[in-house]
Structure 1
Amino acid sequence: MSLRSRIQDDMKAALRAKESARLAAIRLLLAAIKQREVDERIAELDDQAVLATIEKLVKQRRDAAAQYEAAGRAELAAAERFEIEVLSAYLPARLTEAEITAEIDAALAASGASTAADMGRAMAVLKPRLAGKADMGEVSRLLRARLSA
């Protein structure tokens, strides 16, 4: 079963259970997926593209929640955190820092990168391996620290 099919099944289940907040979050996700399909003129996104869309939406929700909290709007921040929780259920389990470091070591060996100038080559190897499993900003930070040491 594809990730998109799973999301559609969850939407139907939320509709039957009358979970309006969950249903709204899932519909938002499906709308973003459909919008990307229309923009890119493809029939159906593969699971990797769906994961990238989910990550983008989660990042937007995190930013919005932080802004709402800074503005003293706790109820809106809570709604954003709920959407993050719903969307995160579709993401694969996150890797620990030790697992990310092991992947960085493997990527450095595979790409031959040894200096900060070679960071792009190492990231090109890491990105497909870690997509959806780790925050790429965190991966970049760890890689930069490793290459500058």
Structure 2
Amino acid sequence: MKATIQNDVKDAMRAKEREKVTTLRAILAEVQEAELQKRGEALVEADYLTILNRMVNQRRESIDQFKKADRHDLVEKEEEQLTYIMPYLPAQLSEAEVIAIVDAAIASLEVKDMSGMGKLMAAIRPELLGKADMSAVSAIVKSRLG
């Protein structure tokens, strides 16, 4: 994945896409930071998904804040950055697919109420990581258990 992003940075530089270059370099900086924290160990796909999900969540939070502050110029910039990050994530699951996964996990773990939410989230997180917005998944789990 790192090599792909590095090649995409070069392509974006050749095409003079400044915002794309900046966004992809930010991803690479996060990847390098994660590599340093792992002390030279190679990153696995889950590590990349975690990094990319964190960046997507940061952008979404910023978009919400900028909308509240009526800063449409900054909203557009953050949304543009999102469009450059999203292709590196797996295809996003539909709400119906997420509900099916949640319902299957509820049945298999025999979770009856909100007290089992942590156990349920821990079970479905690996399957949904990078494929769905985890805050939306959490809301679905709450509605199914509540």
TM-score norm. by structure 2 comes to 0.90
2:115 to 108, 114, 117: 117
Cα deviation for residue 72 of structure 1 reads 3.4
- Compared CA separation, residues 105 and 69, structure 1 to 2 (3 A): closer
1:83 to 81, 84, 87: 81
Q: Runs in 1 of length 4+ with deviation above 6 angstroms?
A: none
Secondary structure at the counterpart of residue 59 of structure 2 = helix
* Aligned-residue RMSD, C-alpha: 1.6
Q: 2:6 maps to what in 1?
A: 8
| C-alpha distance in 2 between matches for 1:71 and 1:147 | 35
TM-score norm. by structure 1 comes to 0.88
Matches within 5 A, 1:60-71: 60-71=58-69
* Identity, % of aligned positions: 36
Q: Is the 8 A contact 1:61 1:81 kept in 2?
A: yes
Cα deviation for residue 42 of structure 1 reads 3.9
Structure 1 segments unaligned to the other structure (5+ residues): none
User: Aligned pair 1:126/2:124, yes or no?
Assistant: yes
Aligned residues: 146
Cα deviation for residue 130 of structure 1 reads 0.5
Cα deviation for residue 102 of structure 1 reads 0.7
Secondary structure at the counterpart of residue 89 of structure 2 = coil
Structure 2 segments unaligned to the other structure (5+ residues): none
Q: 2:141 maps to what in 1?
A: 143
Q: Is the 8 A contact 1:94 1:134 kept in 2?
A: yes
